[in-house]
Chain A
Amino acid sequence: SQQGEEDPQALSIQEGENATMNCSYKTSINNLQWYRQNSGRGLVHLILIRSNEREKHSGRLRVTLDTSKKSSSLLITASRAADTASYFCATDAMNTGFQKLVFGTGTRLLVSP
């Protein structure tokens, strides 16, 4: 079963615009990670935010985490056609003694030239 629910399911924007994706999860976590998946290919790790962090940046990516609301958002600024992909959040539940990632349902992003 999936812990994360992502919103929106699909997002279509023009190049240069910003894209925001949201993720909600159910249980307490150690960290939350975002991955990108190009169609039918492997997942690429984008960024990890720890449970005691509120915001993190990496290039054009900005991730926020609100543990009180059990939610996270991924902002991609100045989007490019190459950003077209599915984006997944993944949570790592606390106190499990091992890293078991639970993935969300994903947001499909389409960036048009």
Chain B
Amino acid sequence: DSGVTQTPKHLITATGQRVTLRCSPRSGDLSVYWYQQSLDQGLQFLIQYYNGEERAKGNILERFSAQQFPDLHSELNLSSLELGDSALYFCASSVRGGDPTDTQYFGPGTRLTVL
């Protein structure tokens, strides 16, 4: 158990809908990262937050947004869902986020299925 929690575990929804994925980092970690893992694209970095502020952006679509709240939990919002958004979405956390030796601890993931 990494100490990172994600809810829900599974989500099945229809195209065009909007969903929110939630992540709670390990106690004491200030940075949260979101990743998407799909069969065709592999594991891709989406976005990072550090202590409530966006720190880095990766291959995140405009239909997706995220935020980190004062209690450091984070939410990833996916809107206008398409079939291709079906994937595993992982959250990870680390103590700092700017230190290259920081270890990222991954949550169990949310499996999103768009029908």
* Cα distance, A41 to B98, chains bound together (Å): 26
Complex contact A48–B101 (CB within 8 A): yes
Complex contact A31–B108 (CB within 8 A): no
Which of B44, B45, B88, B98 is in CB contact (< 8 Å) with A97?
B98
B25 within 8 A of A: no
Complex contact B88–A40 (CB within 8 A): yes
* Cα distance, A22 to B101, chains bound together (Å): 21
Complex contact B45–A45 (CB within 8 A): no
Which of B42, B109, B111 is in CB contact (< 8 Å) with A103?
B42
Q: Pick from B90, B99, B100, B108 the residue with the most CB of A within 10 Å.
A: B100
Pairs across A and B, CB under 8 Å, 13 listed = A2-B43, A2-B44, A40-B109, A40-B111, A41-B109, A42-B2, A42-B109, A45-B103, A99-B104, A101-B45, A102-B45, A104-B42, A105-B42
Complex contact A100–B45 (CB within 8 A): yes
Q: How many A-B residue pairs have CB under 8 A?
A: 72
Q: Which residues of A63-106 are within 8 A (CB) of B?
A: 88, 92, 96-106
> Taking beta carbons and an 8 Å cutoff, which residues of B are in contact with A?
2, 4, 31, 33, 35, 42-45, 48, 50, 55-56, 58-59, 88, 90, 92, 94, 97-109, 111
> What chain A residues lie within 8 Å of B4 (beta carbons)?
42
> What chain A residues lie within 8 Å of B35 (beta carbons)?
103
Complex contact B102–A99 (CB within 8 A): yes
> What chain B residues lie within 8 Å of A101 (beta carbons)?
33, 45, 104
> Taking beta carbons and an 8 Å cutoff, which residues of A are in contact with B?
1-2, 30-31, 33, 35, 40-45, 48, 50, 88, 92, 96-106
Output the least CB separation between B31 and chain A (Å): 8
Complex contact B88–A99 (CB within 8 A): no
Which residue on chain A has the smallest CB distance to residue B56? A98
Which of A2, A92, A97 is in CB contact (< 8 Å) with B42?
A2
> What chain B residues lie within 8 Å of A30 (beta carbons)?
100-101
Given contacts A42-B107, A42-B109, A45-B106, 8 further A-B contacts (CB under 8 A): A1-B59, A30-B100, A31-B100, A31-B101, A42-B4, A88-B43, A99-B100, A102-B45
